[in-house]
Chain A
Amino acid sequence: MSILVFAELADGVVKKTSLEAVYYGAKVAEMLGGTNTVIAIGNASETELAKLGNYGATKVLHAGDSKLESANIMAYSEVLTAAAKSTGATVIITAKSSLADAVTARTAGALKAGVVGNVTELPKLDNGFSVTRSIFTGKAFAETTINTDIKVLALKKNAITPVTSDSAAPVEAFQADVNDTAFGAKITETLKATGTVPLPEADLVVSGGRGMKGPENWQPLLDLAEALGATTACSKPVSDLDWRPHHEHVGQTGVKVSPNLYIACGISGAIQHLAGVNSSKVIVVINTDPEAPFFKAADYGIVGDVFDVLPKLTAAVKAG
Chain B
Amino acid sequence: MFGATSAIAEQVARLYAAKGARIFLAGRQRERLDTIAQDLQVRGASAVSTYGVDFDDVAAFGPMVEACGSPDRTLIAYGTLPDQQGAEGSADLTAKALLTNFTSPAVLLNLLADRLHSGAAVAVITSVAGERGRQSNYVYGAAKGGLSRFLEGLRHRLAPKGIRVIDVRPGFVDTPMTDGMDKKGPLWAKPERVARDIEKALERRDGPIHTPWFWWGIMAIITRVPARIFHKTKL
Q: Do A and B bind each other?
A: no
A interface, CB within 8 angstroms of B? none
